[in-house]
A and B are shown apart, each in its own frame.
Chain A
């Protein structure tokens, strides 16, 4: 799986958009970008994933650059409950032989009141 680089920590004011960057310069053509988050003392939670087009769901938006070497997860209106560690993971989709997730260090997002 391609390696990802994320800042170790970020702060965001409550109600503002949180933009979390991820670099994945060695991503290959069949690899997707996945985002999970882990709120303190809970199991990781799926947020969103994409291949090359921008994606949006009820939780967040994912912006992937045209060369696919980096992406940004956007939480449009951050709340205190969004304080968590956010993991960017790059892996082939629907690979029957390698379905596990490889977690890096992630970004600790702290939403401030």
Chain B
């Protein structure tokens, strides 16, 4: 099992540029979560999907952030335009079905906005 796959692992961009983070959940998992981690705020949920449908996006900071899950095996988190305060590590996690709450996390994408 390959686990949750995220790309890129590191991203450095300039303020104002569009950034797209990608996530491939574990095959067969039907819930997907995007988290952000910073020193100041710790780990916080941005959005989660169940069966490709966004269930709770209350953690998305503002309209500059958007997330999509076009199919069960792929999700994107887009920031447009990016700002220095978006610098953080972004994690994707997935869960299999309704009979477990164990979340499997990806390795994260470290984003630096200059």
Contacts and interface: CB of A to CB of B under 8 A. Distances in A.
A9 interface: no
Nearest to B45: A100
B6 to A, nearest CB: 9
A103 B44 CA distance: 7
Majority secondary structure, B binding face = strand
Nearest to B106: A43
A99 B42 contact: no
Interface residues of A, number: 24
Nearest to B3: A43
25 contacts: A32-B101, A36-B103, A42-B107, A43-B4, A43-B91, A43-B106, A43-B107, A43-B108, A44-B91, A44-B105, A46-B102, A46-B103, A46-B104, A49-B102, A94-B100, A94-B101, A97-B55, A99-B31, A99-B48, A99-B50, A99-B55, A100-B45, A100-B48, A103-B43, A103-B44
Interface of B: 4, 31, 33, 42-45, 48, 50, 55-56, 91, 93, 95, 98-108
